């Protein structure tokens, strides 16, 4: 038991994985027992995609299944779209 005034040295092991596919945390939406993201298809429509998540930190979540590298994921406004909604992709400072 550690009491006031005592010192302890602690080592924390963090997990990492190389070549992991990660997305911003706010791109992943919990839907019941599943996690989903909205991707943008070739017709500029939002498509709901069920994903499996892995390791996460304060900014990103690893996607272990359900996404391919290069797919565009909706990060902002993803709670305002539905499957099949027409979307306009903006990047950087565009609005």
CA dist 39 and 48 (Å) reads 6
Q: What is the pLDDT of residues 22-35, one digit of tens each?
A: 999 999 999 999 99
Residue spans of the domains in the chain: they are 22-73
Question: Global pTM?
Answer: 0.77
> Between 19 and 13, whose confidence is greater?
19
> Between 63 and 3, whose confidence is greater?
63
CA distance readout (Å), 79 to 16, 36, 68: 29, 11, 21
CA dist 45 and 60 (Å) reads 24
Q: What is the mean pLDDT of the chain?
A: 89
The listed CATH number (1.20.1250.20, 2.40.420.20, 3.30.360.10, 3.40.640.10) that belongs to domain 22-73 = 2.40.420.20
Pair of tokens at residue 38? 């909205």
CB atoms within 10 A of CB 63: 24
Percent share of the chain, pLDDT over 90: 67
């Amino acid at each position: 038991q550690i009491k006031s005034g005592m010192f302890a040295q602690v080592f924390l092991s963090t997990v990492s994985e190389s070549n992991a596919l990660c997305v911003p945390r706010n791109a992943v939406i919990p839907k019941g027992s599943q996690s989903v993201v909205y991707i943008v298809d070739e017709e500029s429509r939002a498509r709901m995609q069920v994903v499996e998540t892995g390791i996460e930190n304060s900014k990103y979540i690893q996607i272990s299944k359900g996404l391919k590298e290069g797919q565009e994921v909706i990060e902002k406004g993803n709670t305002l779209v539905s499957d099949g909604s027409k979307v306009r992709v903006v990047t950087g400072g565009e609005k």
